Amino acid sequence: MSLSRRSLLALGVLLAISGPACFSHDYKNKPRVAVVDGDPVVQMAPEGKFSSLTDPRLVPLKQHNDPPFRDEKVLGVAPPRAEPARMYPIGLLDDNEVVNDEAGGIPYVVARCALTDLSTVLDRRVAGRTLTFENSGALWKDMLVMKDKETGTYWNPATGRALTGPLEGETLTVLPSSVTTAEAWRELYPSTVCLETGKLSAVPLRLRLYAMSSWEGVSGEKTTDKRFEPKAQVFFVAGEAEALAFQGSRLREKRTIAATLDGAPITLEWDAGVRAPRAWRPTAGAKEEIPVVPIYWFALLEQYPTVRTLSD
């Protein structure tokens, strides 16, 4: 049954009034798994409450139960070998925030955190082994925390860093991916396969309301950095000592922007085909792609101690 506009408005008002205080109270009173860099890893829900996929089903769009509408956001992965490109609708990832997959001989995990608008892909190989990840039910600085089944280590998908556990100190490699519309990805890769879970691929209403709200996660922390609005969606590239943030609209207008990361030159480029940003660093006789990841501005500031923008 669809909700009336009046019901939606009432629900939005109720969430705006009661939500932040309620969740902030929960955040402060939930069990602590560990304290990392002075901030707690908070067990918000029991382990296993949120589903994670280890053997995902991907099908051609013609066989999909609910193929995403043309303007729905998807995360796209183009394997380096001659395999079909892969599409993960953001709405399905909101229900399955951790998806273990493999393509082109590379085992990877797709991680989605709706609280921070993070959508990223990380190589599952580290320290001489291939890991399998699940949603731990914990948050660190408002960010989803993954846990590997092999060692029980907790991982931050925004940085790839092992926060606590036997593999603490290790870092997962972030892989290139694109967050774009279903239409753009389908036009670029007509034979793409799409994640199929049997559920609707649209973003759930509760998360659409959250995206429109002034909430900055559930920790109760508020950013005072006004370079962007707190809930502005930005893209970032990460180096060893800093992250560089920018908005897609500016790059789309300029098409190409020369910048620096860790003091070295890089190039930001608007890919008109995939309709998403890409980044490159020069190498001997070629160029190396740098992963570009979307996130809310407030969340990027929480995850990286040093964040520059193109205007800095």
pLDDT at residue 268 greater than cutoff 70: yes
Q: What is the mean pLDDT of residues 246-275?
A: 96
Q: Note the pLDDT of residue 79.
A: 75
The average pLDDT across 42-67 equals 93
What does the pLDDT look like over 188-226, one tens digit per residue? 999 999 999 999 999 988 899 999 999 999 998 899 999
Pairing of strands 98-103, 256-261: unpaired
For residue 311, how many other CB atoms are within 10 A of its CB? 9
Query: What average pLDDT score do residues 108-115 get?
Result: 97
Q: What pLDDT, on a 0 to 100 scale, did the predictor assign at position 41?
A: 96
pLDDT in tens, 299-308: 999 999 999 9
Does the pTM exceed 0.85? yes
pLDDT tops 70 at residue 14:
no
- The answer, yes or no, to whether residue 24 has pLDDT greater than 50, is yes
pLDDT at 65 over 70: yes
pLDDT at 229: 97
Give the phi and the psi of residue 115 in degrees, each rounded to 5: -60, -35
Mean pLDDT of 54-71: 95
Cα 31 to Cα 42, 220, 291: the distances in Å are 6, 17, 34
User: Does the pLDDT value for residue 73 go beyond 90?
Assistant: yes
Share of the chain above pLDDT 90, in %: 81
Q: Give the pLDDT of residue 33.
A: 95
Q: Mean pLDDT, the chain, as a whole number?
A: 91
pLDDT band at 5, cuts 50/70/90?
Answer: low
pLDDT band at 284 (very low <50, low <70, confident <90, very high): confident
Taking only the tens place, the pLDDT of each residue in 285-302 is 788 999 999 999 999 999
pLDDT at 138 over 90: yes
The stretch 65-90 carries a mean pLDDT of 91
Is pLDDT at 141 greater than 70 in this prediction? yes
Tokens of 3: 């909700």
